[in-house]
């Protein structure tokens, strides 16, 4: 700060605090609603202070769910989301790091072609090729399976680029020294490159975990069996149901449960998250 203007500093804090209140408002209201009893939404508007049904609501959602809405209890859905998020994050990192390794540390015919084939995936998000992708997955009989939920989303141009950029900054001397010492490609990758990439892997993991957890369209398309529902798509069914009958306390408990895991990941791994966010955009 180049000058001291107490009034201006005060004004800045005021703007920030008011802004934060607006940002927090929807989550606060949802949290309050999730602590209330079932009859409290019948008349008037949502209360502003917590009630005493917190434990009952969350337990009901985790164990039995809204049976009438056709969605299973939340606990298995959250487990599905966790499996999907972990499988996508780990899978993307593994196949991207080895393909980046191949592209940077080897010379072979069709190298540029392979690179461009991976690059093109950036331009083909699921949203623009919904039906043909669904058909491919259906033909491979991967509907309603964890493989179907994760494998089609596992190719990643951004992760491959990130690792490629990073490998290009790794000093040439390392590979020369490793080769002089007689290390083969696998040993060099495992003992030298992988330990060097640790921070990049961790940062990428945070971003990809959130990406995987928050998937919506894909699970919606390929799961019809409630055993494979993920929590983010599951709550939509409950919300549609709650609009007809006032079960908002239970729906909001489900919403909080769907939102909390990725939020916790971001808050506790903030530094890695920011690094991952900035680097994947380069």
Partner 1 sequence: MQTKRTVFPNKALPYFLLLPQLAVTGIFFLWPAWQAIWFSFLREDAFGFKSTFVWLENYARLFNSASYINSISITFTFAFAVAFLSMAVALLFAVNVNSMIRSRNAYTTLLVWPYAVAPAVAGILWWFLFNPSIGILPYLLSMAEIRWNHRTSQADAMTLVVIAASWKQISYNFLFFLAGLQAIPNSLIEAAAIDGAGPFKRFRTIVFPLLSPTTFFLLVVNVVYAMFDTFGIIHATTEGGPAGGTNIMVYKVYADGVIGLNLGSSSAQSVVLMCVVIFLTVIQFRYIERRVQY
| Cα angle: 189, vertex 191, 195; to 5 degrees | 90
Which structure tokens are listed for 140? 């491979």
Token pair in block for residue 167: 């490998």
Contact residue for partner 1 among 74, 87, 154, 253 (CB under 8 A): 154
CB 256 → partner 1: shortest distance, Å?
Answer: 9
Least separation in angstroms between residue 163's CB and partner 1 is 11
3-state secondary structure of 218: helix
Q: In a 10 Å sphere around its CB, with 0-12 CB exposed, 13-18 middle and 19+ buried, how is residue 281 labelled?
A: exposed
Question: In this structure, what DSSP letter does residue 216 have?
Answer: -
Please report, as residue ranges, which positions from 176 to 215 form the binding site for partner 1 (by CB under 8 A). Answer: 176, 179, 184-185, 188, 210, 213-214
Binding pattern for the stretch 224-253 against partner 1, x by CB under 8 A and - elsewhere: --------xx-xx--x------x-x--xx-
Q: Is 127 in the site for partner 1 (CB under 8 A)?
A: yes
Binding residues with partner 1: total (CB under 8 A): 104
Q: Which of residues 32-51 bind partner 1 (CB under 8 A)?
A: 33, 41, 44-46, 48
Is residue 204 within 8 A of residue 93, CB to CB? The reply is: yes
Residue 63 or 140 with smaller CB distance to partner 1: 140
Radius of gyration of the chain, Cα coordinates, nearest whole angstrom: 24
Binding of residue 124 to partner 1 (CB under 8 A): yes
Q: Is 138 in the site for partner 1 (CB under 8 A)?
A: no
């Amino acid at each position: 700060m180049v000058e001291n203007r107490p009034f201006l500093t005060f004004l800045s804090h005021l703007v920030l605090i008011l802004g934060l209140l607006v940002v927090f408002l929807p989550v606060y209201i949802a949290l309050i609603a999730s602590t209330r009893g079932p009859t409290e939404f019948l008349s008037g508007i949502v209360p502003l202070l917590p009630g005493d049904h917190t434990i009952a609501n969350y337990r009901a959602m985790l164990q039995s769910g809204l049976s009438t809405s056709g969605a299973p209890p939340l606990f298995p859905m959250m487990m599905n989301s966790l499996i999907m998020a972990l499988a996508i994050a780990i899978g993307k990192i593994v196949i991207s790091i080895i393909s980046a390794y191949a592209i940077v540390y080897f010379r072979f015919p069709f190298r540029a072609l392979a690179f461009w084939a991976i690059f093109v995936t950036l331009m083909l998000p699921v949203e623009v090729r919904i039906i043909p992708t669904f058909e491919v997955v259906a033909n491979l009989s991967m509907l309603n399976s964890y493989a179907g939920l994760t494998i089609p989303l596992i190719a990643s141009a951004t992760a491959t680029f990130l690792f490629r950029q990073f490998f290009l900054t790794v000093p040439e001397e390392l590979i020369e020294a490793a080769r002089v010492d007689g290390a083969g490609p696998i040993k060099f990758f495992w003992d030298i490159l992988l330990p060097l990439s640790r921070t990049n892997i961790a940062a990428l993991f945070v971003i990809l975990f959130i990406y995987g957890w928050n998937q919506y369209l894909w699970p919606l398309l390929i799961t019809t069996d409630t055993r494979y529902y993920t929590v983010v798509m599951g709550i939509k069914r409950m919300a549609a149901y709650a609009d007809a009958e006032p079960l908002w306390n239970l729906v909001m408990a489900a919403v909080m449960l769907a939102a909390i895991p990725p939020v916790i990941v971001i808050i506790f791994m903030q530094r890695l998250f920011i690094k991952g966010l900035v680097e994947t955009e380069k």
